[in-house]
Amino acid sequence: MDHRLKAGSRTAAIRGGVALFALAAAMATAWAAEAPLTGTLKKVKDDGVLVVGFRDASIPFSYYDVNQHPIGYSIDLANLVIDRIRQDTGRADLNVRWIPITSQNRISLLQNGTIDFECTTTTNNESRAKQVDFTNNFFEIGTRLMVKKGSPIRDFTDLKGQTVVVGAGTTSDKIIRSLNADKQMDMNIISAKDHSESFLTLSTGRAKAMMMDDALLAGERAKTKDPAEWVITGTPQSFEAYGCMVRKGDAQLKALMDETIAKLETSGKMTTIYHKWFMSPIPPKGLNLDFPMSDTMKKLFAHPNDKPAA
Amino acid sequence: MDYHWNWGVLLQPVATGEPHTYLGWLATGFMNTVALTLCAWLLALVVGSLAGIARTLPSRFARAAGTAYVSLFRNVPLIVQFFVWYFVVPELLPATAGDWIKGLPPYTQFFVVSVLALGVYTGSRVCEQLRAGIEALPKGQRNAGLALGLTLGQTYRHVLLPVAYRTIIPPLTSEFLIISKNSAVASTIGLLELSGQARQLVDYTAQPYESFICVTLGYVVLNFLIIRLMGFVRNRTHVPGLLGQ
């Protein structure tokens, strides 16, 4: 047999080589996309169940609508994350369970596996970051006071000897207690169970001021009969950022959520969601919070990051 | 379970800069629980006894009043009663009275409201225990007392109640233990008793298991003391041959 390659066979050999190379490349890409899932994503893929934590009374971030379904700015974000998880785990039939959480049990429930992640109003700070991992930040707030219109209290220095209400377990709780101890302000501090109860304590006159994240103050105010009667005042005692929480070391889920959030923020989709909840009428009363985006938030959206505080 | 035990956190000074340790917070909470339990129990005994006696009197009005009291306070959940006493009652009073109440130091408000809510609720249960104790006595006891020329009040005081109370010491012990645990509901309106302090501890230290184990031990110790106390009462009041022991 003639061992020299005829001209036609050489073309065929080249074509065969290219085909082989293409096949190898396709296989390599396919293999890379099939990189093994770890942590929560693996569990979700195997079991087909995803459990998400939400707050039931943090207007406008995460709260119940009239049909007892969770809605809000953070919930919209969580739903987009869930869509992405569906995609990445390939489980279109994903069973999503929503579990209500409070500021006191959110970390414990995440650590013990009851919930897989939560996007609500959790401040990203260093002491919490020892227990859990935070994703990219999605909101920026300042902790301020809310008082009745006409109240002599204008700033934190006016709180000497007054009764102040805060949410138990929140960053404001720690800040106001530290302020009271440092400056000997002789305040009576009431720690209420959640945001609605804090506001109830304020509105019944038991407390003269309420300290909380300014966006949540605006949300509580919007629920009342006459929102103009409540004034948000005081220099922010801290600037904080909200991030979603995932379990410590859950790197794949964190990376997925970081990417989702960063894309939403830089593409302008997050700004649309912001306008939907902060600059337009929202349930339950169709009131407009009228809370324009702060400069710190615009900066965050331009450069998404997961740094604690601003 | 990926939990890091850290019992030493209890001895650390609190993160707010106040001059306490976390264990000190728990101790304050324990004191509040003990004070609340004792005060509420005294109120419950007084109110419950009056209502229990009222339900066994011949007067239809007294019986109706006692029944109304029990029906209302036994059937509404305790946490709802706390809320009503704390949030609703000051609004229903005339404005000056309401404002005065709301102007009181928060701790006073929490404590007094808790004693009222807990005492009145437990009183409705004590009322039923006492009524059962009195009705367990043979009818002849009351009739014999009246026949001897004692007034109804004297009959109750010298014939019926001594035996009735001795009969119901075991159920009253249960009620005393229950009230010590129901005192935890006071943390829902803001009183920092033992359970409330445990939650504060969890917020500040993020070590829930240590906090709740300490709190459990606190309640166990309190319950043990209550059982011993009631046992002592029973031994001191024991009349040989009376109740067939």
- pLDDT at B242 exceeding the cut of 60: yes
Residue B80 falls inside a structural domain? yes
Indicate the angle between helix axes A269-278 and A295-302, nearest 10 degrees.
Answer: 150
Strands A163-167 and A188-192: parallel
pLDDT in tens, A260-286: 999 999 999 999 999 999 999 988 778
Domain count of chain B? Answer: 1
- In A123-142, the residues whose Cβ lies within 8 Å of chain B are 127-128, 130-131
Average pLDDT over residues B151-164: 95
Distance from CA of B184 to the nearest CA of A (A): 14
Considering only CB atoms, which chain B residues are within 8 Å of A185?
none
Task: Please give the C-alpha separations between residue B225 and each of A48, B33, B180, B220, in angstroms, as whole numbers.
Answer: 51, 13, 11, 9
Residues of chain B in contact with residue A193, where contact means CB-CB under 8 angstroms, are 188
pLDDT top residue among A104 and B70: B70
Structure confidence at residue A31 (pLDDT): 47
Average pLDDT over residues B229-243: 91
Distance of alpha carbon A179 from alpha carbon A173, whole angstroms: 10
What are the tokens at A76?
Answer: 């919209």
- B151 within some domain: yes
Q: Which residues of chain A have pLDDT under 70?
A: 1-9, 12-13, 16-35, 310
Contact B208/A at CB under 8 A: yes
pLDDT digits (tens, 9 = 90+) for B121-156: 999 999 999 999 999 999 999 999 999 999 999 999
What was the pLDDT predicted at B104?
Answer: 86
CA–CA distances in Å: residue A18 to residues A6, A13, B104, B186: 19, 9, 87, 77
pLDDT at residue B163 above 50? Answer: yes
Look at residue A4 in the predicted model and tell me its pLDDT.
Answer: 56
Q: Looking at residue A18, what is its pLDDT?
A: 66
Domain presence at residue B134: yes
d(CA B221, CA B102): 35
Chain A touched by B20 (CB under 8 Å): no
CA distance B204 to chain A (A): 7
- pLDDT given for residue A32 in this prediction: 45
ipTM of the complex: 0.70
Q: Environment class of residue B170 by beta-carbon count within 10 Å: exposed (0-12), middle (13-18) or buried (19+)?
A: exposed
With respect to residue B104, please indicate whether it lies within any of the assigned structural domains. Answer: yes
Query: Which of B17, B106, B199 shows the shortest C-beta gap to A182?
Result: B17
Q: Which domain holds residue B218?
A: 27-237
Q: Which residue has the higher pLDDT, B71 or A204?
A: B71
Residues B58-68 pLDDT 10s: 999 999 999 99
- Determine which of B3, B12, B14, B16 to mutate to test the interface with A (most A C-beta atoms within 10 Å): B16
Q: What top-level class would CATH report for the domain A39-140+240-302?
A: alpha beta
- Do the chains contact at A206 and B17, CB–CB below 8 Å? no
Backbone φ and ψ for B59, nearest 5 degrees, come out as: -70, 125
Is there a shared CATH topology between the A39-140+240-302 domain and the A142-239 domain? yes
The nearest CA of chain A is from the CA of B91 a distance in Å of 8
Query: In CATH, what number is assigned to the domain containing residue B226?
Result: 1.10.3720.10
* Dist. CA B171–CA B176, nearest whole Å: 9
B64 part of a folded domain: yes
Q: What is the pLDDT of residues A206-236, one digit of tens each?
A: 899 999 988 889 888 888 888 889 999 888 8
Residue/partner pairs of A69-76 with CB below 8 Å, 24 or more apart: A70/A98, A70/A100, A71/A283, A72/A277, A73/A139, A73/A273, A73/A274, A73/A276, A73/A277, A73/A278, A74/A119, A74/A120, A74/A121, A74/A138, A74/A139, A74/A242, A75/A119, A76/A273, A76/A276, A76/A277
Query: Which of A230, A181, A237 shows the shortest CA–CA distance to A209?
Result: A230
**HEC-encoded secondary structure of chain A:** CCCCCCHHHHHHHHHHHHHHHHHHHHHHHHHHHCCCCCHHHHHHHHHCEEEEEECCEECCCEEECCCCCEECHHHHHHHHHHHHHHHHHCCCCCEEEEEECCCCCHHHHHHCCCCCEECCCCECCHHHHCCEEEEEEEEEEEEEEEEECCCCCCCHHHHCCCEEEEECCCHHHHHHHHHHHHHCCCCEEEEECCHHHHHHHHHCCCCCEEEEEHHHHHHHHHCCCCHHHEEEECCCCCEEEEEEEEECCCHHHHHHHHHHHHHHHHHCHHHHHHHHHHCCEECCCCEECCCCCCHHHHHHHHCCCCCCCC
Check B18 against A181: CB less than 8 A apart.
Answer: yes
Measured between beta carbons, the chain B residues lying within 8 angstroms of A190 are 106, 190
Q: State which CATH number among 3.30.572.10, 3.40.50.970, 3.40.190.10, 3.40.50.300 fits the domain covering A142-239.
A: 3.40.190.10
